[in-house]
Amino acid sequence: MLPCSDNMSLNMIYTATITSKRQLTIPAEVYGKIGLKKGDKVIISENAGEIRMKRAIDLLEELAGSVKIAKPLRGADIDKAISLAKEEYFSKKGDK
């Protein structure tokens, strides 16, 4: 862990190793700071060679109210919501 000055703010830099299966272990301190738990989904984004990660639920909370959610999907676990949305989409596609 190294201190890094970036745009007048002090951030900590952590080192992690990528395995042959492209897996990465998130340092425990980062894991705890951003509130991750086993099984959480994360959003990974890349911009100009820099990777950012955030909890998927945080993105959903940011978007709350800006996207209309179908009644059957309201309050559903994200995996369940995705599964239901896929089933509905592909059942309609088969009707054509």
The rounded distance, in Å, linking the Cα atoms of 16 and 34 is 17
Confidence class for position 2, pLDDT limits 50, 70, 90: very low
Specify the range with the lowest mean pLDDT, choosing from 37-46, 49-58, 60-69, 79-88. Answer: 60-69
pLDDT score at 27:
92
Of 60, 59, 54, whose CA–CA distance to 26 is shortest?
54
pLDDT score at 49:
92
**Per-residue model confidence as pLDDT tens digits over 38-55:** 988 888 999 999 998 888
The rounded distance, in Å, linking the Cα atoms of 51 and 62 is 20
Specify the range with the lowest mean pLDDT, choosing from 6-10, 17-21, 41-45, 69-73. Answer: 6-10
Better pLDDT: 90 or 62:
90
Residue 1: both structure tokens together: 């862990």
CB atoms within 10 A of CB 53: 13
β-pairing verdict for 50-55 and 42-47: antiparallel
Please name the residue ranges forming H helices in 1-96: 28-33, 56-63, 78-94
The rounded distance, in Å, linking the Cα atoms of 9 and 75 is 37
